Structure 1
Amino acid sequence: MFNFARKQVVDVTSTRPAVPPIDAFTEITEYDPKNWSISGEGSGVFVRGKAVSLPQSVQIQGDNCRLYIDNGCFVNGHIEIKDGSNSVAYLGPRTRLRNFHAVLSGDSCLLVMGEAATTEQAVFFVHGDNMQITIGEDCMLSSGVVIRTADGHGIFDAESRRQINKPAAVHVGAHCWIGNGARVAKGVTISDGCVIGQMSLVSKPTEPNSIYAGVPARKVRSGTVWSRTDMYDDIPAHLLG
Protein backbone atom coordinates (compact mmCIF):
# COMPACT_ATOMS: atom_id res chain seq x y z
CA MET A 1 0.00 0.00 0.00
CA PHE A 2 1.08 3.51 -0.73
CA ASN A 3 2.08 4.42 2.83
CA PHE A 4 3.41 7.88 2.06
CA ALA A 5 0.16 9.03 0.50
CA ARG A 6 -1.85 7.60 3.37
CA LYS A 7 0.32 9.48 5.89
CA GLN A 8 0.03 12.72 3.93
CA VAL A 9 -3.75 12.71 3.79
CA VAL A 10 -4.13 11.54 7.39
CA ASP A 11 -1.83 14.29 8.62
CA VAL A 12 -3.84 16.94 6.83
CA THR A 13 -7.26 15.68 7.93
CA SER A 14 -6.80 16.54 11.60
CA THR A 15 -7.80 20.12 10.77
CA ARG A 16 -8.49 19.94 7.04
CA PRO A 17 -10.87 18.22 4.59
CA ALA A 18 -11.64 14.55 5.28
CA VAL A 19 -10.09 12.12 2.80
CA PRO A 20 -11.29 8.50 2.50
CA PRO A 21 -8.86 5.61 2.99
CA ILE A 22 -6.63 5.34 -0.03
CA ASP A 23 -7.45 1.67 -0.61
CA ALA A 24 -11.02 2.79 -1.46
CA PHE A 25 -9.75 4.14 -4.80
CA THR A 26 -9.27 2.28 -8.10
CA GLU A 27 -6.48 3.03 -10.55
CA ILE A 28 -7.29 4.24 -14.05
CA THR A 29 -5.28 2.07 -16.43
CA GLU A 30 -6.75 3.13 -19.78
CA TYR A 31 -6.27 6.70 -20.98
CA ASP A 32 -5.35 8.73 -24.06
CA PRO A 33 -1.54 9.04 -24.11
CA LYS A 34 -1.85 12.21 -26.19
CA ASN A 35 -3.34 14.04 -23.21
CA TRP A 36 -2.23 11.98 -20.23
CA SER A 37 1.39 11.09 -19.50
CA ILE A 38 2.25 9.05 -16.40
CA SER A 39 5.74 7.81 -15.59
CA GLY A 40 7.44 6.62 -12.43
CA GLU A 41 7.19 3.68 -10.06
CA GLY A 42 3.94 3.63 -8.09
CA SER A 43 2.48 6.70 -9.83
CA GLY A 44 -0.98 7.00 -11.33
CA VAL A 45 -4.52 8.41 -11.29
CA PHE A 46 -7.08 6.84 -8.96
CA VAL A 47 -10.85 7.31 -8.63
CA ARG A 48 -13.48 6.45 -6.04
CA GLY A 49 -17.12 6.01 -6.99
CA LYS A 50 -18.15 7.74 -10.19
CA ALA A 51 -16.37 10.90 -11.27
CA VAL A 52 -18.52 13.25 -13.31
CA SER A 53 -15.49 14.08 -15.45
CA LEU A 54 -11.74 13.65 -15.57
CA PRO A 55 -9.04 16.26 -16.29
CA GLN A 56 -8.37 16.89 -19.97
CA SER A 57 -4.62 16.87 -19.33
CA VAL A 58 -2.55 15.00 -16.73
CA GLN A 59 1.24 14.98 -16.59
CA ILE A 60 2.87 12.92 -13.84
CA GLN A 61 6.63 12.43 -13.69
CA GLY A 62 8.25 10.90 -10.62
CA ASP A 63 7.97 7.92 -8.31
CA ASN A 64 4.97 7.50 -6.01
CA CYS A 65 3.16 10.55 -7.38
CA ARG A 66 -0.61 10.19 -7.40
CA LEU A 67 -3.80 12.01 -8.29
CA TYR A 68 -6.94 10.95 -6.39
CA ILE A 69 -10.37 11.92 -7.75
CA ASP A 70 -13.32 11.33 -5.44
CA ASN A 71 -16.97 10.51 -6.05
CA GLY A 72 -18.96 13.07 -8.02
CA CYS A 73 -15.98 15.29 -8.85
CA PHE A 74 -16.21 17.43 -11.98
CA VAL A 75 -12.82 18.71 -13.10
CA ASN A 76 -12.02 20.58 -16.28
CA GLY A 77 -8.37 21.48 -16.76
CA HIS A 78 -4.76 20.44 -16.31
CA ILE A 79 -2.87 18.78 -13.46
CA GLU A 80 0.90 18.39 -13.45
CA ILE A 81 3.07 16.62 -10.86
CA LYS A 82 6.79 16.84 -11.55
CA ASP A 83 10.36 17.46 -10.35
CA GLY A 84 10.20 15.05 -7.42
CA SER A 85 8.60 12.01 -5.86
CA ASN A 86 5.94 11.13 -3.26
CA SER A 87 3.53 13.93 -4.18
CA VAL A 88 -0.26 13.69 -3.88
CA ALA A 89 -3.18 15.69 -5.31
CA TYR A 90 -6.66 14.94 -3.95
CA LEU A 91 -9.90 16.29 -5.48
CA GLY A 92 -12.75 15.77 -3.03
CA PRO A 93 -16.31 14.55 -3.55
CA ARG A 94 -18.82 16.83 -5.31
CA THR A 95 -16.13 19.33 -6.25
CA ARG A 96 -16.79 21.46 -9.34
CA LEU A 97 -13.40 22.53 -10.64
CA ARG A 98 -13.81 24.51 -13.84
CA ASN A 99 -10.72 25.83 -15.64
CA PHE A 100 -8.60 24.17 -12.96
CA HIS A 101 -4.81 24.31 -13.29
CA ALA A 102 -2.54 22.74 -10.68
CA VAL A 103 1.22 22.23 -10.66
CA LEU A 104 2.99 20.27 -7.92
CA SER A 105 6.75 20.66 -8.19
CA GLY A 106 9.11 19.09 -5.65
CA ASP A 107 9.30 16.14 -3.28
CA SER A 108 6.36 15.26 -1.03
CA CYS A 109 4.01 18.00 -2.25
CA LEU A 110 0.32 17.89 -1.35
CA LEU A 111 -2.78 19.53 -2.84
CA VAL A 112 -6.20 18.93 -1.25
CA MET A 113 -9.51 20.25 -2.61
CA GLY A 114 -12.19 19.75 0.05
CA GLU A 115 -15.68 18.39 -0.44
CA ALA A 116 -18.00 20.53 -2.60
CA ALA A 117 -15.31 23.15 -3.28
CA THR A 118 -15.74 25.01 -6.58
CA THR A 119 -13.59 27.03 -8.95
CA GLU A 120 -14.47 29.13 -11.97
CA GLN A 121 -10.85 29.59 -13.02
CA ALA A 122 -8.03 29.03 -10.57
CA VAL A 123 -4.32 28.23 -10.60
CA PHE A 124 -2.48 26.40 -7.82
CA PHE A 125 1.31 26.26 -7.61
CA VAL A 126 2.58 23.85 -4.95
CA HIS A 127 6.29 24.51 -5.31
CA GLY A 128 9.03 23.29 -2.99
CA ASP A 129 9.73 20.11 -1.04
CA ASN A 130 7.10 19.20 1.57
CA MET A 131 4.83 22.07 0.54
CA GLN A 132 1.03 21.98 0.77
CA ILE A 133 -2.05 23.81 -0.43
CA THR A 134 -5.28 22.72 1.26
CA ILE A 135 -8.70 24.11 0.34
CA GLY A 136 -11.54 23.45 2.79
CA GLU A 137 -15.06 22.16 2.38
CA ASP A 138 -17.53 24.26 0.36
CA CYS A 139 -15.01 26.92 -0.66
CA MET A 140 -15.92 29.03 -3.69
CA LEU A 141 -13.09 30.37 -5.85
CA SER A 142 -14.01 32.82 -8.59
CA SER A 143 -12.22 33.50 -11.89
CA GLY A 144 -8.56 34.49 -12.07
CA VAL A 145 -7.61 33.22 -8.61
CA VAL A 146 -3.95 32.29 -8.04
CA ILE A 147 -2.67 30.49 -4.94
CA ARG A 148 1.00 29.61 -4.57
CA THR A 149 3.49 28.37 -1.99
CA ALA A 150 6.52 30.09 -3.53
CA ASP A 151 7.51 33.12 -5.57
CA GLY A 152 9.02 31.02 -8.35
CA HIS A 153 12.42 32.71 -8.15
CA GLY A 154 14.88 32.99 -5.29
CA ILE A 155 15.75 36.22 -3.47
CA PHE A 156 18.94 36.15 -1.40
CA ASP A 157 20.71 38.29 1.14
CA ALA A 158 23.68 39.63 -0.80
CA GLU A 159 26.18 39.22 2.02
CA SER A 160 25.23 35.87 3.54
CA ARG A 161 23.70 34.36 0.38
CA ARG A 162 20.81 33.14 2.53
CA GLN A 163 17.49 32.80 0.73
CA ILE A 164 14.97 35.20 2.21
CA ASN A 165 11.83 34.14 0.31
CA LYS A 166 11.57 30.44 1.10
CA PRO A 167 8.39 28.53 0.20
CA ALA A 168 5.63 28.13 2.80
CA ALA A 169 2.36 26.19 2.87
CA VAL A 170 -1.08 27.71 2.24
CA HIS A 171 -4.26 26.62 4.02
CA VAL A 172 -7.78 27.84 3.25
CA GLY A 173 -10.46 26.90 5.78
CA ALA A 174 -14.02 25.71 5.21
CA HIS A 175 -16.66 27.79 3.41
CA CYS A 176 -14.40 30.60 2.17
CA TRP A 177 -15.20 32.78 -0.83
CA ILE A 178 -12.20 34.05 -2.79
CA GLY A 179 -13.18 36.75 -5.25
CA ASN A 180 -12.32 37.39 -8.86
CA GLY A 181 -8.63 38.02 -9.55
CA ALA A 182 -7.52 37.52 -5.94
CA ARG A 183 -4.05 36.29 -5.04
CA VAL A 184 -3.06 34.23 -2.00
CA ALA A 185 0.64 34.39 -1.17
CA LYS A 186 2.90 31.77 0.36
CA GLY A 187 2.56 31.05 4.06
CA VAL A 188 -1.02 32.30 4.38
CA THR A 189 -3.82 30.67 6.38
CA ILE A 190 -7.32 31.89 5.52
CA SER A 191 -9.66 31.03 8.39
CA ASP A 192 -13.12 29.46 8.06
CA GLY A 193 -15.93 31.54 6.61
CA CYS A 194 -13.83 34.37 5.17
CA VAL A 195 -14.64 36.44 2.11
CA ILE A 196 -11.70 37.78 0.07
CA GLY A 197 -12.58 40.75 -2.14
CA GLN A 198 -11.88 40.77 -5.85
CA MET A 199 -8.34 41.70 -6.96
CA SER A 200 -7.07 41.46 -3.37
CA LEU A 201 -3.65 40.18 -2.32
CA VAL A 202 -3.72 38.10 0.86
CA SER A 203 -0.26 38.06 2.40
CA LYS A 204 -1.04 37.49 6.10
CA PRO A 205 -3.30 35.12 8.09
CA THR A 206 -6.96 36.10 8.46
CA GLU A 207 -9.51 35.89 11.26
CA PRO A 208 -12.60 33.68 10.80
CA ASN A 209 -15.92 34.93 9.43
CA SER A 210 -14.47 38.20 8.22
CA ILE A 211 -14.19 40.15 4.97
CA TYR A 212 -10.77 41.13 3.66
CA ALA A 213 -10.02 43.36 0.67
CA GLY A 214 -7.24 45.42 -0.86
CA VAL A 215 -3.55 45.19 -1.71
CA PRO A 216 -2.39 44.04 0.71
CA ALA A 217 -5.69 42.65 2.00
CA ARG A 218 -6.97 44.15 5.24
CA LYS A 219 -9.99 43.28 7.34
CA VAL A 220 -12.94 45.50 6.47
CA ARG A 221 -15.65 43.72 8.47
CA SER A 222 -15.95 40.88 10.99
CA GLY A 223 -18.82 38.73 12.24
CA THR A 224 -20.08 37.84 8.76
CA VAL A 225 -21.38 34.72 7.03
CA TRP A 226 -22.08 34.26 3.33
CA SER A 227 -24.29 32.18 1.03
CA ARG A 228 -23.89 30.86 -2.50
CA THR A 229 -27.37 32.29 -3.13
CA ASP A 230 -29.20 35.36 -1.80
CA MET A 231 -30.76 33.28 0.96
CA TYR A 232 -29.33 32.94 4.47
CA ASP A 233 -31.11 29.60 4.86
CA ASP A 234 -29.04 28.17 2.00
CA ILE A 235 -25.88 28.28 4.12
CA PRO A 236 -25.15 24.71 5.32
CA ALA A 237 -26.02 24.66 9.02
CA HIS A 238 -22.84 22.86 10.04
CA LEU A 239 -20.79 25.69 8.50
CA LEU A 240 -22.41 28.39 10.61
CA GLY A 241 -20.40 27.44 13.70
Structure 2
Amino acid sequence: MKQSIKQFLNKYPSITEKLKRAKYYLNKTNRSSSKQIHGVDNIFEIHPSAILKNCTIDVEGDHNRVIINENCRLYEVKIYIRGNHNLIVLDSNVTYQSGLLWEVCNHGRISIGENTTIEENVNFQIAEDHLTIAVGQDCMFSSNIFIWPQDWHPINNMNRDRINQGKSISIENHVWVGYDVKILKGVIIGSNNIIGTNALITKSFEEEHVIIAGNPGKITKRDIHWER
Protein backbone atom coordinates (compact mmCIF):
# COMPACT_ATOMS: atom_id res chain seq x y z
CA MET A 1 0.00 0.00 0.00
CA LYS A 2 2.75 2.47 0.95
CA GLN A 3 4.56 1.72 -2.32
CA SER A 4 1.39 2.36 -4.33
CA ILE A 5 0.84 5.71 -2.61
CA LYS A 6 4.45 6.68 -3.21
CA GLN A 7 4.18 5.81 -6.91
CA PHE A 8 0.97 7.84 -7.19
CA LEU A 9 2.55 10.90 -5.55
CA ASN A 10 5.63 10.62 -7.75
CA LYS A 11 3.33 10.64 -10.77
CA TYR A 12 1.60 13.85 -9.58
CA PRO A 13 4.25 16.13 -8.02
CA SER A 14 1.83 19.05 -7.70
CA ILE A 15 -0.28 17.04 -5.25
CA THR A 16 2.84 16.15 -3.28
CA GLU A 17 3.79 19.82 -3.01
CA LYS A 18 0.31 20.80 -1.81
CA LEU A 19 0.36 18.07 0.83
CA LYS A 20 3.78 19.21 2.06
CA ARG A 21 2.57 22.81 2.27
CA ALA A 22 -0.57 21.80 4.18
CA LYS A 23 1.48 19.70 6.60
CA TYR A 24 3.87 22.64 7.16
CA TYR A 25 1.07 25.06 8.06
CA LEU A 26 -0.71 22.55 10.27
CA ASN A 27 2.48 21.75 12.15
CA LYS A 28 3.26 25.44 12.55
CA THR A 29 -0.22 26.06 13.95
CA ASN A 30 -0.10 23.10 16.32
CA ARG A 31 3.35 24.00 17.66
CA SER A 32 2.51 27.59 18.50
CA SER A 33 -1.08 27.33 19.77
CA SER A 34 -3.00 25.27 22.30
CA LYS A 35 -6.49 23.79 22.47
CA GLN A 36 -8.65 22.75 25.40
CA ILE A 37 -11.92 21.29 24.16
CA HIS A 38 -14.65 19.76 26.32
CA GLY A 39 -18.07 18.81 24.99
CA VAL A 40 -19.87 17.18 22.10
CA ASP A 41 -19.84 18.03 18.39
CA ASN A 42 -17.56 21.05 18.60
CA ILE A 43 -16.20 21.79 15.12
CA PHE A 44 -13.02 23.67 14.21
CA GLU A 45 -12.36 24.52 10.59
CA ILE A 46 -8.92 26.11 10.30
CA HIS A 47 -7.71 26.56 6.73
CA PRO A 48 -4.26 25.07 6.04
CA SER A 49 -2.95 28.49 4.97
CA ALA A 50 -4.00 30.17 8.23
CA ILE A 51 -1.35 30.83 10.87
CA LEU A 52 -2.12 30.90 14.59
CA LYS A 53 0.85 31.87 16.75
CA ASN A 54 0.70 31.81 20.55
CA CYS A 55 -3.07 31.51 20.40
CA THR A 56 -5.40 29.61 22.73
CA ILE A 57 -8.67 27.86 21.91
CA ASP A 58 -10.59 27.06 25.10
CA VAL A 59 -14.09 25.62 24.67
CA GLU A 60 -16.57 24.03 27.06
CA GLY A 61 -19.99 23.18 25.67
CA ASP A 62 -21.68 21.44 22.80
CA HIS A 63 -22.27 22.16 19.10
CA ASN A 64 -19.94 25.14 18.92
CA ARG A 65 -18.14 26.05 15.71
CA VAL A 66 -14.98 28.05 14.97
CA ILE A 67 -14.11 28.83 11.32
CA ILE A 68 -10.82 30.49 10.38
CA ASN A 69 -10.53 30.95 6.63
CA GLU A 70 -7.61 31.15 4.21
CA ASN A 71 -4.61 33.39 4.83
CA CYS A 72 -5.74 34.54 8.28
CA ARG A 73 -2.96 35.53 10.68
CA LEU A 74 -3.67 35.40 14.41
CA TYR A 75 -1.08 36.24 17.07
CA GLU A 76 -1.78 35.91 20.80
CA VAL A 77 -5.54 35.69 20.31
CA LYS A 78 -7.65 33.76 22.82
CA ILE A 79 -10.82 32.08 21.60
CA TYR A 80 -12.93 31.40 24.68
CA ILE A 81 -16.36 29.73 24.54
CA ARG A 82 -18.62 28.60 27.37
CA GLY A 83 -22.03 27.45 26.20
CA ASN A 84 -23.75 25.77 23.29
CA HIS A 85 -24.40 26.48 19.61
CA ASN A 86 -21.99 29.40 19.42
CA LEU A 87 -20.18 30.47 16.25
CA ILE A 88 -16.98 32.41 15.53
CA VAL A 89 -16.09 33.11 11.88
CA LEU A 90 -13.04 34.89 10.49
CA ASP A 91 -13.22 35.42 6.74
CA SER A 92 -10.17 35.31 4.49
CA ASN A 93 -7.10 37.53 4.99
CA VAL A 94 -7.94 38.70 8.52
CA THR A 95 -4.91 39.80 10.55
CA TYR A 96 -5.40 39.92 14.32
CA GLN A 97 -2.45 40.90 16.51
CA SER A 98 -3.85 40.12 19.96
CA GLY A 99 -7.07 40.09 21.93
CA LEU A 100 -10.10 38.06 22.82
CA LEU A 101 -12.94 36.37 20.94
CA TRP A 102 -15.19 35.55 23.89
CA GLU A 103 -18.63 33.96 24.01
CA VAL A 104 -20.10 32.94 27.36
CA CYS A 105 -23.64 32.34 26.14
CA ASN A 106 -25.76 30.17 23.89
CA HIS A 107 -26.35 30.88 20.18
CA GLY A 108 -23.85 33.75 20.08
CA ARG A 109 -22.10 34.78 16.89
CA ILE A 110 -18.94 36.77 16.18
CA SER A 111 -18.03 37.34 12.53
CA ILE A 112 -15.15 39.36 11.08
CA GLY A 113 -15.11 40.16 7.37
CA GLU A 114 -12.31 39.57 4.89
CA ASN A 115 -9.24 41.82 4.70
CA THR A 116 -9.91 43.30 8.15
CA THR A 117 -6.85 44.16 10.26
CA ILE A 118 -6.90 44.23 14.05
CA GLU A 119 -4.08 45.46 16.28
CA GLU A 120 -3.32 44.64 19.94
CA ASN A 121 -5.76 44.05 22.80
CA VAL A 122 -8.96 44.18 20.77
CA ASN A 123 -11.76 42.34 22.55
CA PHE A 124 -15.06 41.05 21.18
CA GLN A 125 -17.12 39.71 24.10
CA ILE A 126 -20.67 38.29 24.18
CA ALA A 127 -22.21 37.37 27.54
CA GLU A 128 -25.93 36.99 26.72
CA ASP A 129 -27.76 34.46 24.57
CA HIS A 130 -28.66 35.09 20.92
CA LEU A 131 -26.44 38.15 20.43
CA THR A 132 -24.22 38.94 17.45
CA ILE A 133 -21.11 41.04 16.81
CA ALA A 134 -20.71 41.45 13.04
CA VAL A 135 -17.73 43.23 11.46
CA GLY A 136 -17.72 43.89 7.73
CA GLN A 137 -14.97 43.74 5.12
CA ASP A 138 -11.78 45.80 5.01
CA CYS A 139 -12.15 47.30 8.48
CA MET A 140 -9.16 48.58 10.45
CA PHE A 141 -9.01 48.36 14.24
CA SER A 142 -6.36 50.12 16.30
CA SER A 143 -5.47 48.90 19.83
CA ASN A 144 -7.16 48.63 23.22
CA ILE A 145 -10.71 48.36 21.84
CA PHE A 146 -13.72 46.75 23.52
CA ILE A 147 -16.90 45.63 21.72
CA TRP A 148 -19.67 44.73 24.20
CA PRO A 149 -23.30 44.02 23.17
CA GLN A 150 -24.46 43.75 26.78
CA ASP A 151 -24.19 45.58 30.12
CA TRP A 152 -22.67 42.58 31.95
CA HIS A 153 -25.04 42.75 34.94
CA PRO A 154 -28.86 42.81 34.88
CA ILE A 155 -30.80 45.90 35.94
CA ASN A 156 -34.43 45.36 36.96
CA ASN A 157 -37.37 47.63 37.62
CA MET A 158 -39.24 47.47 40.89
CA ASN A 159 -41.33 44.58 39.53
CA ARG A 160 -38.13 42.59 38.97
CA ASP A 161 -38.47 42.83 35.18
CA ARG A 162 -35.17 43.29 33.44
CA ILE A 163 -34.77 46.63 31.66
CA ASN A 164 -31.26 46.38 30.16
CA GLN A 165 -31.31 43.45 27.75
CA GLY A 166 -28.36 43.10 25.39
CA LYS A 167 -28.57 44.09 21.71
CA SER A 168 -26.41 43.00 18.79
CA ILE A 169 -23.67 45.17 17.27
CA SER A 170 -22.97 45.67 13.56
CA ILE A 171 -19.93 47.43 12.08
CA GLU A 172 -20.28 47.70 8.32
CA ASN A 173 -17.57 47.67 5.61
CA HIS A 174 -14.41 49.81 5.57
CA VAL A 175 -14.68 51.28 9.07
CA TRP A 176 -11.61 52.60 10.89
CA VAL A 177 -11.88 52.20 14.67
CA GLY A 178 -9.33 54.27 16.58
CA TYR A 179 -7.33 53.65 19.74
CA ASP A 180 -9.14 52.98 23.05
CA VAL A 181 -12.63 52.98 21.54
CA LYS A 182 -15.56 51.29 23.28
CA ILE A 183 -18.63 50.25 21.29
CA LEU A 184 -21.67 49.29 23.36
CA LYS A 185 -24.90 47.36 22.81
CA GLY A 186 -27.26 47.98 19.94
CA VAL A 187 -24.84 50.06 17.89
CA ILE A 188 -24.77 50.04 14.07
CA ILE A 189 -21.85 51.81 12.38
CA GLY A 190 -22.27 52.64 8.69
CA SER A 191 -19.68 51.88 6.02
CA ASN A 192 -16.67 54.12 5.27
CA ASN A 193 -16.71 55.78 8.69
CA ILE A 194 -13.98 56.66 11.21
CA ILE A 195 -14.36 56.34 14.98
CA GLY A 196 -11.87 58.62 16.72
CA THR A 197 -9.50 57.85 19.57
CA ASN A 198 -11.08 57.34 23.02
CA ALA A 199 -14.63 57.53 21.67
CA LEU A 200 -17.48 55.91 23.60
CA ILE A 201 -20.16 54.78 21.16
CA THR A 202 -23.56 54.30 22.78
CA LYS A 203 -25.90 54.82 19.79
CA SER A 204 -25.99 53.98 16.08
CA PHE A 205 -24.43 56.06 13.29
CA GLU A 206 -25.73 54.58 10.06
CA GLU A 207 -24.83 57.63 7.97
CA GLU A 208 -21.75 56.89 5.85
CA HIS A 209 -18.50 58.81 5.22
CA VAL A 210 -18.45 60.53 8.62
CA ILE A 211 -16.05 60.90 11.56
CA ILE A 212 -17.48 59.99 14.96
CA ALA A 213 -15.65 61.17 18.08
CA GLY A 214 -16.11 62.06 21.73
CA ASN A 215 -17.76 60.71 24.87
CA PRO A 216 -20.52 60.05 24.07
CA GLY A 217 -19.74 59.77 20.38
CA LYS A 218 -21.16 62.27 17.92
CA ILE A 219 -20.54 63.16 14.27
CA THR A 220 -17.76 65.73 14.00
CA LYS A 221 -17.18 65.76 10.23
CA ARG A 222 -19.00 64.60 7.10
CA ASP A 223 -18.09 63.77 3.49
CA ILE A 224 -14.80 62.03 4.28
CA HIS A 225 -13.08 59.01 2.80
CA TRP A 226 -10.16 57.26 4.45
CA GLU A 227 -7.41 55.04 3.05
CA ARG A 228 -4.90 52.67 4.59
Task: Decide: shared fold, TM above 0.5.
Answer: yes
**Which residue identity lines up with residue 61 of structure 2 in the other structure?**
G
In 1, the alpha carbon distance for the partners of 2:95 and 2:168 equals: 23
TM-score under structure 2 length normalisation: 0.82
**For residues 160 and 138 of structure 2, what CA distance do their matches in structure 1 show?**
42
Alignment-derived partner of residue 150 in structure 1: 150
Mapping for residues 47-196 of structure 1, pairs under 5 Å: 47-53=46-52, 56-76=55-75, 77-82=77-82, 84-121=83-120, 122-157=122-157, 159-196=158-195
The change in CA–CA distance for 1:55 and 1:46 in structure 2 (over 3 A counts) is farther
User: Which letter maps to 1:148?
Assistant: W
Q: Using the TM superposition, give the Cα deviation of residue 53 of structure 1 relative to its aligned residue in structure 2, in angstroms.
A: 2.6
1:127 deviates by 1.8
- Give the secondary structure class of the aligned counterpart of 1:53: strand
Residue type matched to 2:152 in 1? G
Cα offset, 1:49, TM superposition: 4.4
Q: 1:165, CA displacement in angstroms?
A: 1.2
Deviation >6 Å, runs of 4+: none
Q: CA deviation at 1:141?
A: 0.6
Q: Is the 1:44–1:60 Cα contact (8 Å) retained in structure 2?
A: no
- Alignment-derived partner of residue 231 in structure 1: none
Aligned to 2:12: none
Cα-to-partner distance string for 1:86-115 (whole Å, 9 max, x where unaligned): 101011111100112111111110000100
- Measured after TM superposition, the shift of residue 56 of structure 1 is 1.3
**How far, CA to CA, are the matches of 1:49 and 1:208 in structure 2?**
36
The alignment partner of 1:150 has SS state of coil
TM-fit CA distance, 1:216: 0.4
Name whichever structure is richer in helix by fraction. 2
Q: Normalising by the residue count of structure 1, what TM-score does the alignment of the two structures yield?
A: 0.78
Residue pair 1:52, 1:73 contacting (<8 A) in 2 also = yes
Q: Secondary structure at the match of 1:129?
A: coil
Backbone CA RMSD of aligned residues: 1.8
Asked if structure 2 preserves the Cα contact closer than 8 Å seen for 1:181 and 1:199, the reply is: yes
Q: Which runs of 5+ in 2 are unaligned?
A: 1-25
Q: CA deviation at 1:155?
A: 1.2
Q: 3-state SS of the aligned residue for 1:68?
A: strand
Question: 1:33-62, CA deviations, whole angstroms, 9 ceiling, x for partnerless residues?
Answer: x93111211103212341033561111111
Structure 1 segments unaligned to the other structure (5+ residues): 1-27, 229-241
Counterpart CA distance in 2 for 1:209 and 1:71 is: 30
Moved more, 179-188 or 96-105: 96-105
Structure 1 residues 219-238: aligned runs within 5 Å: 219-228=219-228
Summarize deviations over 1:6-59 as a string: whole Å, max 9, x none. xxxxxxxxxxxxxxxxxxxxxx8x957x93111211103212341033561111
Q: Percent identity?
A: 25
